[in-house]
Amino acid sequence: MSNYVIATTKPWNIEYFEHWKRNQQDNWYLITEPEQLNLEQINKIDPHYIFFPHWSWIVPKEIYNSYECVCFHMTDVPYGRGGTPLQNLITRGHTETKISSLRMTNILDAGPVYFKSNLSLHGTAQDIYERATPIIFEMLEQIVTHTPSPKEQIGHVEKFERRTPEQSSLPSKGDLKDLYNHIRMLDAVSYPNAELKHGDFKLLFKDARLEDGNLTATVCIEKNRDSYD
């Protein structure tokens, strides 16, 4: 039996993994905290692959130089290298994308590609992330089964800039479709929702629906911490 590691931080990936691993014949280990991802710990496991479905920290160089590390990026690389790909794609008007499985290197999202799979960008960010999870696990199963040699990326490199929490504010211009996309692309667990600050209050928007030319959304109102004395 071989050993493998999955490193992820998102609850939908963790929940999926717990059910998925019951049907696996090999030994699968889950890492959810950056402190767990150290060379001493990884050496004890001695995995054939380390998979990163959704990881928010820089992987230590000594790990990806010692083990085959595979990350999953939500663009058709080399287009869209960089941070917050889902939000950058929707902002640019994309309605579908590809998930690229890459060998991790010292250059972000620039490693050679194992496989690519199609992904719809319909629905909220949470919908999209949850839709991506079984696709990613199917891809990593293919990598484990066939041990393919990844191929270098081909084409023009276009990089995305990581979005900041300040960019969650509702746009002041545009049409209802733009506003709908802004709300839905930020509607996911652990992400800052679309917001509108009004005096002592902050309005948070989610569950957006655009039907018959009308936009509706659920609004949560909380105290604006920026206004505290």
Average pLDDT, the chain: 95
**Topology adopted by domain 165-227:** Methionyl-tRNA Fmet Formyltransferase; Chain A, domain 2 (3.10.25)
The CATH 3.10.25.20 portion of the chain extends over 165-227
- 178 torsion bin: left (phi>0), alpha (psi -120 to 50), beta (else): alpha
Best CA proximity match to 164, nearest among 130, 191, 132? 191
Model-level pTM?
Answer: 0.94
The CATH 3.40.50.170 portion of the chain extends over 3-160
Quick one: pLDDT band at residue 226, thresholds 50, 70, 90?
low
Over residues 85-109, the pLDDT tens digits come to 999 999 999 999 999 999 999 999 9
Task: Check whether 206 has a pLDDT greater than 90.
Answer: yes
Task: Check whether 229 has a pLDDT greater than 60.
Answer: no
Task: Check whether 228 has a pLDDT greater than 70.
Answer: no
3-state secondary structure the chain: CCEEEEEECCHHHHHHHHHHHHHCCCEEEEECCHHHCCHHHHHHHCCCEEEEEECCCCCCHHHHHHCEEEEEECCCCCEEEECCHHHHHHHCCCCEEEEEEEECCCCCCCCCEEEEEEEECCCCHHHHHHHHHHHHHHHHHHHHHHCCCCECCCCCCEEECCCCHHHHECCCCCCHHHHHHHHHHCCCCCCCCEEEEECCEEEEEEEEEEECCEEEEEEEEEECHHHCC
What lies within 8 Å, CB to CB, of 134 at 6+ separation is: 16
What lies within 8 Å, CB to CB, of 92 at 6+ separation is: none
Task: Check whether 10 has a pLDDT greater than 80.
Answer: yes
Predicted pLDDT of residue 195: 96
Predicted pLDDT of residue 190: 85
**Quick one: 108 exposed, middle or buried, by C-beta within 10 A (0-12, 13-18, 19+)?**
middle
The yes/no answer on whether domain 3-160 falls in CATH 3.40.50.170 is yes
